[in-house]
Structure 1
């Protein structure tokens, strides 16, 4: 069974509380439950993690290189600032899908560019928690290919 790491960055631990008009009312636990249910349908094992610390996220990308078959990332604001996360993704040699709950292209200009998306096979933005389910489906296809 293929393993997919789902890595979430800063402030995603506040989902359901922080700016629900942008991010919705679902919590990260709700998203994890949805992902676990969908992963069963796709015959995937998932490992979902969240950290507010860039170095921890980098360490997890390095760990995914050894232990995972694919990676879904929502690095939040680090997507727009972290060349280090970009470089870690490039080095992990795995299929990567970036997810954003909100449409980053319809928000502040500084959110329009994502360093980390440049190291991913694709990005899903603006579809709320459904983006994670779609990313799992896409990643299953990439892993099978």
Structure 2
């Protein structure tokens, strides 16, 4: 997820079904997220007795709508349909049978962007978040090894 989020190539998530926990985080790491109108998404870690890892919290704070952040992360609220857009899990919802088609069109649009301008923007916009995520991952790896 960190590599996708901090990558230098545009990425599109085609969410054709439910995207829960790691699936939701994977989608959040992409540039554009197209999902099925019946897709359920959420971060159920707290409901499962787990604390969302710091790197995942950083990603959630960067991508989710601030007015939904508390509900999505601390209370494990699950979202469906247009609520996924309101919360920030998705950018767009379409009928399930159109997700891949729409995601491919979006991918083509992103591929037409100037690579230099895209990389420049991402370096400016995402570098601080990416660095914070990398540091959090390193801390968690070190803690797991001790």
- TM-score, normalisation: structure 1: 0.34
Instruction: Identify the structure with the greater helix proportion.
Output: 2
Instruction: Identify the structure with the greater strand proportion.
Output: 1
